[in-house]
């Protein structure tokens, strides 16, 4: 079995995990929740194995490099970071309903990588510009940041659902954590995301400086990551202002996640240095 | 007197304006929104290209607003200046009160605040308060920097705290922004960025600046000893490698290879691999073949040279050289272009791709021309930069990462444990607060309380 096949299977495992988490939420039974956790763990192990296998395969092809060099590989790694960040939160906060709003992102990223005709899953040799150890540090930290923001977005969505239902009428929401808890949790995960986005931007800048001699050149991808960073910095400060709690912060968080998605996918539509990510 | 009051009042207002977080939110959102423009409208292209794209009206409008170089425009720089002022004023405003909390000898403990916490932990222990006092004291001395023990009527009370200094983390984050802005400013004032092409075996000691096109002299010469490029089997480029020597007073003082991602640094100047190209040699050998007689003649010529073709074939001008030449949709690679003027008849342009010596035969002329012997030279394109601000920016990077880590994941934690005798046992209450991450502190309090039950 090669890594692409293995990772296609992982796609379905993640899909199953997401369904089980949703079943756990809708049917309010612990069993699907427990199964979901185990399925997600198995998926994460398969995902890890797939990444390692792909790494080994690239060495067999004689073009050995860490599997973090194109859109396919970054999506696979993105799924991995989402699941890891989510499982960490599940363990820490002992709530599985969040899984219904977080693991679908891992499934979607994986499905997009495996199924989209625009995405090439061949292992390609590294072009000279990508031959740098900073590439690895840059991609890992950026995607940890993105994963944090994706999970924060899911929790934030739960917050908005719960906050709309102020009289607590909805049967679907009664096992949700309280709005306060959801709000605080979103904030915690956003701080995690912000730290790693900052490190991601910084390692990218250091890399750019070692590759072509300027740490910042306002290319669209750089600029969009900075825009994302500005939005989340706004969010962190808006919480300090009177009257800026709850929903307004939640909308900022949604705006931030839209910027993440645009930084990741949308920028390829614009011209710039980072356009290698298109294949 | 009145006037002075008014001015004090208005400067106070100005101060408060700059100290407000509301302004921060406005500035950060403005930076985010305006930054989008420069990613949609390509930056720093030629005026003609913009004119074609946007038409006269928008060209003039965008030009007036510096949209074509917006990240260096006065209004974008003004936003950055506002942000800097905002950070400085805000930090000064808050630092003194934070300072007092952080560097006090006797941190205040407010018992009722702890007692009113909703999520305190309570349990009973079979040992007496006297026994517990020693045990708890050593428990807290391990992980809490500051402790205070008070005896009460029916037992004792411990206040413990740690991480007071983490309240300074956010000042580090803000300082890092200032460092980056200062570093960036230094770089743009005292640094430069330019390009230079160097043919193999030649020395240059000046470069062309990217922004202005001016020539910048260097204190030393750069010689390209050789240029090598390699490809993967798929044809994709694998490596561009320039072997460079630094020349001072006519002597090579340093020899080093430069590849992408591995520049040469010398005397504060950084030299990066950026592009490459091919150049024709000073003389090349051309072969002329007579179609009828099959006779061949050779001739050496330089670019731009016009000469008589041997054996009375007319005249030939070696006009041009292209590093890559496109003929009817096919890339022919390196190609010479010449003009052949026969003794009688019209002059024709002939194309001489180096890799395809038979190409000119297809023209079916009386004479076919090809390139016989050709050793091309490479030139390397180097990006040459100087940026004395980089060090400060990098310090800023480091301070930001450390500062964010402290601010996000560490907090000033305070714990209060109260032990009261009830018959011959002890009732224990554990309560904790933190300046951040209340949920985490709640879990921590529970953990500590479980720890206390266990010892
Ligand atoms: C790009 C610029 C800025 C960045 C990246 C930044 C970053 C941060 C971060 C990460 C925090 C911690 C937030 C938290 O604990 O959740 C923070 C807090 C804060 N920032 Fe900023 N900041 C910036 C600009 C400013 C400016 C211009 C001001 C001026 C008013 C400001 C005022 C504050 C204040 C008052 C706090 C709260 C401090 C506290 O908790 O005691 N920030 N900032």
Overall average pLDDT of the A178-204 stretch: 93
Q: What is the pLDDT of residue A276?
A: 36
More confident residue, B152 or B183: B183
More confident residue, B237 or B158: B158
**B5 has a pLDDT exceeding 70:** no
Phi and psi at residue A267, to the nearest 5°: -65, -25
Q: What is the pLDDT of residue B368?
A: 87
In this structure, the answer to whether residues A153 and A194 fall within a common structural domain is yes
Q: What is the pLDDT of residue A275?
A: 38
- Look over chain B and give the mean of its residue pLDDT values, rounded to a whole number: 88
Q: Does B170 contact ligand 1 (Cβ within 6 A)?
A: yes
- pTM, two decimals, is 0.86
Domain containing A40: what range?
1-126
In this structure, the answer to whether residues A5 and A51 fall within a common structural domain is yes
Output b/e per residue, B207-241; b: 16+ Cβ within 10 A: beebeeeeeeebeebbbbeebeeeeeeeeeebebb
Hey, are the CB atoms on A63 and B39 less than 8 Å from each other?
no
Structure tokens at B428: 């224990």
Q: Which chain B positions have a beta carbon within 8 Å of A231's beta carbon?
A: 28-29, 32
Q: How far from B114 is each of A232, B418, B432, B439, CA to CA, in Å?
A: 33, 10, 7, 16
Domain's final residue, options A107, A126, A145: A126
> How far is it, in rounded angstroms, from Cα A28 to Cα B132?
44
Tens digit of each residue's pLDDT (9 = 90 or more) over B269-307: 999 998 888 887 778 888 888 888 888 888 888 888 888
Overall average pLDDT of the B412-441 stretch: 88
Structure tokens at B200: 């193999």
**A64 has a pLDDT exceeding 90:** no
Range scoring the smallest mean pLDDT among A221-230, A233-242, B112-121: B112-121
CATH of the domain at A70: 1.20.120
Q: What is the DSSP code string of A164-196? A: H-TT---GGGTTSPPHHHHHHHHHHHHHHHHHH
More confident residue, B44 or A7: A7
Atom of ligand 1 nearest to the CA of B28: 1
In this structure, the answer to whether residues A148 and A62 fall within a common structural domain is no
> How far is it, in rounded angstroms, from Cα B230 to Cα B238?
5
More confident residue, A228 or B145: A228
Tens digit of each residue's pLDDT (9 = 90 or more) over A65-108: 888 888 899 999 999 999 999 999 999 888 899 999 999 999 99
Atom of ligand 1 nearest to the CA of B24: 27
Hey, are the CB atoms on A230 and B401 less than 8 Å from each other?
no
Domain's final residue, options A126, A141, A170: A126
> How far is it, in rounded angstroms, from Cα A226 to Cα A262?
12
Q: Does B101 contact ligand 1 (Cβ within 6 A)?
A: no
In this structure, the answer to whether residues A121 and A136 fall within a common structural domain is no
In this structure, the answer to whether residues A61 and A140 fall within a common structural domain is no
What is the percent of chain A with per-residue pLDDT over 90, rounded to a whole number? 59
pLDDT level of residue B261 (50, 70, 90 thresholds): confident
Q: How far is A234 from chain B (nearest CA, A)?
A: 5
In this structure, the answer to whether residues A86 and A170 fall within a common structural domain is no
More confident residue, B106 or A200: A200
Cross-chain CB nearest to A132 (options B40, B261, B401): B261
Which class for B121: exposed (0-12), middle (13-18), buried (19 or more C-beta within 10 A)? Answer: buried
When divided into structural domains, chain A yields a total of 2
In this structure, the answer to whether residues A111 and A136 fall within a common structural domain is no
Cross-chain CB nearest to B401 (options A192, A198, A270): A198
Q: What is the pLDDT of residue B6?
A: 61
In this structure, the answer to whether residues A172 and A79 fall within a common structural domain is no
pLDDT level of residue B91 (50, 70, 90 thresholds): very high
Which residue of chain B has the CA closest to A219?
A: B39
Q: Does A240 contact ligand 1 (Cβ within 6 A)?
A: yes
**B3 has a pLDDT exceeding 80:** no
Calculated CA dihedral for residues A131, A135, A136, A139, nearest 10 degrees:
-150
**A47 has a pLDDT exceeding 90:** yes
ipTM: 0.91
More confident residue, A110 or B114: A110
Q: Give the number of other CB atoms < 10 A from CB of residue B394.
A: 18
| Atom 31 of ligand 1, nearest CA residue | B87
In this structure, the answer to whether residues A185 and A207 fall within a common structural domain is yes
User: Nearest Cα to A65, choosing from A106, A18, A124?
Assistant: A124
**A37 has a pLDDT exceeding 80:** yes
Residues B400/B392, Cβ–Cβ less than 8 Å: no
Phi and psi at residue A250, to the nearest 5°: -65, -40
Q: What is the pLDDT of residue A91?
A: 93
Q: What is the pLDDT of residue B9?
A: 77
**B148 has a pLDDT exceeding 70:** yes
Q: Does B390 contact ligand 1 (Cβ within 6 A)?
A: no
Which residue of chain B has the CA closest to A141?
A: B401
Domain's final residue, options A126, A152, A177: A126
**A271 has a pLDDT exceeding 70:** no
Q: What is the pLDDT of residue B131?
A: 86
Radius of gyration of chain B from its Cα atoms, rounded to whole angstroms = 38
Which class for B380: exposed (0-12), middle (13-18), buried (19 or more C-beta within 10 A)? Answer: buried
**B201 has a pLDDT exceeding 90:** no
Hey, are the CB atoms on B272 and A233 less than 8 Å from each other?
no
In this structure, the answer to whether residues A92 and A143 fall within a common structural domain is no
Q: What is the pLDDT of residue B222?
A: 93
Calculated CA dihedral for residues B284, B290, B296, B302, nearest 10 degrees:
-10
pLDDT level of residue B29 (50, 70, 90 thresholds): very high
In this structure, the answer to whether residues A122 and A138 fall within a common structural domain is no
In this structure, the answer to whether residues A139 and A208 fall within a common structural domain is yes
């Amino acid at each position: 079995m090669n890594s692409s096949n293995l990772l296609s299977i992982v796609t379905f495992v993640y899909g199953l995990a997401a369904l089980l988490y949703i079943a756990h939420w809708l049917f309010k039974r612990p069993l699907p929740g427990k199964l979901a956790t185990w399925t997600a763990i198995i998926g994460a192990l398969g995902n890890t194995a797939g990444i390692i296998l792909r790494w080994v395969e690239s060495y067999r092809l004689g073009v050995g490099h860490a599997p973090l060099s194109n859109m396919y590989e970054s999506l696979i790694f993105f799924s991995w970071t989402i699941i890891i960040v989510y499982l960490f939160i599940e363990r820490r906060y002992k709530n599985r309903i969040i899984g219904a709003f977080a693991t679908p992102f891992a499934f979607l990223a994986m499905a997009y990588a495996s199924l989209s005709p625009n995405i090439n899953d061949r292992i390609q040799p590294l072009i000279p510009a990508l031959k740098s150890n900073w590439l690895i540090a840059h991609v890992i930290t950026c995607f940890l940041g993105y994963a944090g923001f994706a999970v924060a977005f899911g929790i934030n969505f739960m917050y908005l659902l719960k906050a709309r239902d102020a009289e607590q009428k909805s049967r679907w929401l009664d096992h949700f954590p309280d709005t306060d808890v959801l709000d605080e949790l979103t904030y915690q995960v956003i701080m995690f995301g912000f730290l790693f986005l900052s490190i991601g931007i910084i390692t990218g800048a250091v890399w750019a400086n070692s590759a072509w001699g300027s740490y910042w050149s306002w290319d669209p991808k750089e600029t969009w990551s900075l825009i994302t960073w500005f939005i989340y910095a706004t969010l962190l400060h808006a919480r300090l202002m009177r009257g800026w709690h709850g929903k307004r912060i939640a909308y900022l968080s949604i705006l931030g996640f839209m910027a993440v998605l645009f930084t990741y996918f949308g920028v390829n539509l614009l011209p710039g240095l980072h356009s290698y990510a298109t294949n | 007197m009145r006037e002075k009051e008014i001015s004090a009042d208005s400067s106070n207002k100005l101060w408060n304006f700059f100290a407000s977080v509301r302004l921060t939110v406005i500035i950060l959102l403005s930076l985010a929104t305006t930054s989008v423009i420069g990613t949609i409208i390509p930056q720093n292209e030629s005026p003609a290209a913009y004119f074609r794209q946007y038409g006269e009206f928008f060209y003039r409008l965008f030009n007036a607003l510096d949209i074509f170089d917006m990240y260096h425009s006065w209004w974008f720089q003004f936003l950055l200046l506002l942000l800097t002022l905002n950070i400085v004023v805000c930090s000064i405003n808050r630092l003194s009160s934070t300072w007092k909390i952080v560097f006090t000898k006797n941190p205040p403990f407010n018992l009722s605040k702890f007692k009113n916490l909703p999520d305190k932990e309570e349990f009973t222990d079979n040992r007496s308060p006297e026994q517990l006092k020693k045990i708890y004291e050593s428990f807290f001395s391990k992980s809490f920097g500051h402790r205070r023990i008070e005896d009460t009527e029916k037992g004792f009370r411990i206040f413990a705290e740690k991480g007071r200094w983490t309240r300074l983390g956010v000042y580090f984050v803000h300082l890092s922004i200032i460092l980056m802005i200062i570093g960036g400013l230094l770089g743009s004032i005292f640094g430069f960025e330019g390009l230079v092409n160097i043919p193999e075996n030649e020395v240059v000691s000046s470069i062309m600046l990217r922004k202005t096109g001016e020539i910048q002299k260097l204190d030393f010469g750069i010689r390209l000893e050789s240029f090598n490029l390699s490809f993967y089997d798929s044809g994709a480029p694998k490596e561009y490698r320039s072997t460079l020597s630094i020349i001072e007073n006519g002597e090579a003082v340093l020899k080093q290879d430069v590849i992408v991602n591995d520049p040469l640094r010398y005397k504060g100047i950084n030299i990066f691999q950026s592009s490459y190209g091919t150049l024709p040699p000073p003389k090349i050998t051309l072969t002329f073949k007579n179609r009828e007689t099959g006779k061949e003649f050779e001739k050496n010529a330089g670019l731009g040279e016009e000469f008589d073709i041997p054996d009375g074939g007319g005249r030939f001008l070696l006009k041009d050289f292209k590093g890559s030449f496109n003929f009817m949709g096919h890339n022919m690679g390196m190609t010479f272009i010449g003009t052949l003027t026969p003794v009688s008849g019209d002059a024709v342009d002939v194309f001489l791709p180096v890799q395809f010596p038979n190409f000119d035969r297809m023209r079916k002329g009386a004479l076919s021309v090809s390139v016989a012997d050709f050793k091309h030279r490479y030139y390397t394109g180097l990006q040459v930069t100087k940026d004395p601000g980089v060090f400060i920016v990098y310090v800023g990077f480091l301070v930001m990462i450390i500062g964010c880590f402290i601010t996000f994941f560490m907090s000033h934690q305070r714990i209060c444990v109260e032990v009261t005798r009830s018959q011959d046992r002890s009732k224990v209450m554990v309560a904790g607060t933190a300046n951040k991450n209340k949920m985490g502190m709640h879990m921590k309090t529970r953990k500590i309380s479980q720890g206390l039950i266990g010892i």
